[in-house]
């Protein structure tokens, strides 16, 4: 076994969170390659055509059209894969590609 934490005392090593940063670096690269929220949403729709994506502002439940001007105001994304799951993603600031909070539900939990 390779000692990856030589500077930490042995008794504290079990309390140190070890994370594979390669996965997060790849996620950042993917996120940056799309450049905008609209680019990210369009790539999701291309990769998984069955997925339904809706965008909303914070105070209104009326869906926004998926275009460049509307995506700047989008604060909530609702991503639904029929018969599998629904994900609600809160974005802060509005229009960013960085989630503030994410909730995932099975379709059995959603009415």
56 closest CA partner among 104, 25, 87, 89:
89
Contact predicate 36/97, CB 8 Å: yes
What is the tens place of the pLDDT at every residue in 69-86? Answer: 999 999 999 999 888 899
16 closest CA partner among 27, 29, 3, 28:
3
pLDDT classification of 107: cutoffs 50, 70, 90:
confident
DSSP at 12: G
What is the tens place of the pLDDT at every residue in 25-77? Answer: 545 544 456 678 899 899 988 999 999 999 999 888 889 999 989 999 999 99
Q: Would the pLDDT of 2 be above 60?
A: no
58 closest CA partner among 71, 38, 75, 72:
75
Q: Which residues of 52-90 are buried (b: 16+ CB within 10 A; e: fewer)?
A: ebebbeeeeeeebebeeebbeebbbbebbeeeeebbbbe
What pLDDT sits at residue 1?
41
């Amino acid at each position: 076994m390779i000692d990856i934490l030589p500077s930490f005392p042995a008794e504290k090593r079990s309390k140190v969170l070890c994370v594979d940063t390669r996965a997060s670096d790849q996620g950042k690269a993917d996120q940056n390659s799309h450049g905008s929220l609209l680019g990210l949403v369009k790539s999701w729709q291309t990769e998984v055509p069955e997925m339904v994506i809706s965008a909303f502002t914070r105070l209104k439940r009326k869906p926004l059209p998926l275009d460049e001007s509307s995506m700047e105001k989008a604060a909530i994304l609702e991503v639904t894969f029929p018969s599998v799951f629904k994900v609600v993603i809160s974005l802060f600031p509005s229009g960013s590609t960085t989630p503030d909070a994410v909730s995932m539900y099975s379709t059995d939990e959603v009415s």
